[in-house]
Amino acid sequence: MTSKIAAIKQYGQKIWLDNISREFLASGDLQTMMQEDGIAGVTSNPAIFYKAISSDSRYQEQLNELKKTNLTPLQRYEKMAVDDIKQACAIMQPLYVTSSGEDGYVSLEVSPALCHDTDGTVESALELWNAVNAPNLMIKVPATQAGVAAFEQLVVLGLNVNITLLFSLPQVNAIWEAYISALEKRADQGLPIDKIKTVASFFLSRVDSAVDPKLPEALQGKTAINLARAAYLDYQKLFNSPRFNKLKDLGAKGQYLLWASTGTKNKNYSDILYIEELIGEETINTVPDATLNAYRDHGNAASRLTNGIQNATTILAQVEQNGIDLIELGDKLQQEGLQSFIKAFDKLIDLVK
């Protein structure tokens, strides 16, 4: 019997798991979820690694040995994280091969302390890329101004990148412009572009949490989903344009939108709201365990992303008529997200000192 999660695949969307730990990898649960639920990728972040290292005794022996070396706390963490990511990449490697590089990716984030340092981000990304040494690794970079510049350089260098902390349409479109420009530069150099995979992580529930208290009831819970729909309209236009079609002829892949922050924070909304409403072709949804379990229990897969999509800009205009500047909000939420990532990363580094 096909699981409710696996049923999403027929509508062209890929489901990634937003979690990783040594216990999870050793248990065989990832293989099981790949087989039964069609899980097609894994994402990680500092908060996920903090939870794993602080609660899983499998890390303690390695950490004790690493403390005997001259490695810095950052290097200790990265050594443990790289070991986990390598294992996850190996587990997902067969899927990467059979899907011709469409699926099977595992994301590892550069230190968020580098979020305003382009050169530092590129250097760290290359170090992690070489340490993991797997074609299905995806380096995660925050979409600050420096991060966008680093992202473009990394794509030119041929790396897979998950560009994260996107909250507004201008932010997403800036990433797509950087991606296409990078592919054009590679193509002009005669370098292959058919193996590069990047995703644009668009955060959802945090948007609604920020705006709902300022909106009339009729508009509450609608901002994030309609921002996502508006972004998807932009995606369809850009990645079917004559400009991108030239790159597509060389094997280039479109930069899918990846729905992130998909755990429902408002208890008045469905606990699977940010999965149900955003199922559509050429998209990814990265889902935390609790939300995934809820969907496995009572999800109902259907293609809904394009439902009412032509009304998305009208609804967003109504939101702005209530005194909300969505571009300004996106910048504010990105800054708050960065601070949250940095705080989680500092806590993680303290753990391995």
pLDDT of residue 137: 98
Residue type, 110: V
pLDDT of residue 54: 94
Check whether 2 has a pLDDT greater than 90.
no
- Surface-to-core class of residue 39, CB atoms within 10 Å of its CB (0-12 exposed, 13-18 middle, 19+ buried): buried
161: which strand partners? 139, 198
> Which residues are part of the catalytic machinery?
140
User: pLDDT digits over 307-346, tens only?
Assistant: 999 999 999 999 999 999 999 999 999 999 999 999 999 9
pLDDT of residue 1: 52
User: pLDDT digits over 142-174, tens only?
Assistant: 999 999 999 999 999 999 999 999 999 999 999
User: pLDDT digits over 102-146, tens only?
Assistant: 999 999 999 999 999 999 999 999 999 999 999 999 999 999 999
Report the CATH architecture of 6-351: Alpha-Beta Barrel (3.20)
Q: Where are the domains of the chain?
A: 6-351
Percent of the chain exceeding pLDDT 90 equals 99
C-beta atoms surrounding 300 within 10 Å: 11
Check whether 234 has a pLDDT greater than 70.
yes
Own/partner pairs, 51-60, CB within 8 angstroms, 24+ separation = 51/21, 52/20, 52/21, 52/22, 52/23, 52/84, 53/77, 53/80, 53/348, 53/351, 53/352, 54/351, 55/21, 56/21, 56/22, 56/23, 58/22, 58/23, 58/26, 59/22
CA pair distance 198, 196, nearest whole angstrom: 7
Check whether 216 has a pLDDT greater than 70.
yes
47-76 average pLDDT score: 94
Of 57-61, 196-200, 255-259, 298-302, where does mean pLDDT reach its minimum? 57-61
User: pLDDT digits over 258-314, tens only?
Assistant: 999 999 999 999 999 999 999 999 999 999 999 999 999 999 999 999 999 999 999
Angle at 192 between CA 187 and CA 197, to 5 degrees: 100
Listed in sequence order, the DSSP H helices in the chain are 22-27, 29-37, 46-55, 58-66, 73-98, 118-132, 145-156, 169-188, 205-211, 223-238, 242-248, 273-276, 289-298, 312-321, 326-351
